Amino acid sequence: MTYIIANLFWIAFSVAVAIESWRLKLGTFHKPGPGFFPFWTAVLLGLLSVISLIKSLKEKREPSPGIWARVNFLKLGLMLVVLFLYAILLNTIGFLPGTLFLLFFLFRATEPYNWKKVLFASLLTVAATYVVFVVLLECQLPKGFLEF
């Protein structure tokens, strides 16, 4: 039942985001408007939620011990604090070093991967994001005090 409620929530959320994004004007693929990215993200989220809802309705599940039974609240709270600090300090620190630190922390905190994997995954993710947004889409990302 929890999965059904969660999927219904995400379907409703994606519909609301898509409607508001549509009001912002979508633009075209070569000249996207302010609602382009949120609209298509909401459409994808909605489709994935519908697929997950259908799958949840077809499956018979055994009762689970509870949704919060295995949650590590200390780890969850620490991640929320780091994400909050990232959002607050992004303009000051800059996208590249801030996001690299964030990903490094999140990859290391969620699962105890070794340092090489964490560093490689963080660098690869930041590099790919930089290429997509700065090189291909020509967006400006916060440079911060280091000016890169």
Q: Compute how many other C-beta atoms are within 10 angstroms of the C-beta atom of residue 7.
A: 20
Residue 143 is predicted with a pLDDT of 82
> To the nearest whole number, what is the mean pLDDT of the chain?
87
Sequence ranges of the domains in the chain: 2-58, 73-136
pLDDT value of residue 95 = 87
pLDDT of 148 strictly over 80: no
Report pLDDT for 110: 78
Q: Which helix (H) or strand (E) holds 148?
A: none
pLDDT, tens only, 48-69: 999 999 998 888 766 666 767 7
Alpha-helical regions (H) of the chain: 2-23, 36-58, 73-93, 95-110, 115-130
> Residue 111's pLDDT band (boundaries 50, 70, 90)?
confident
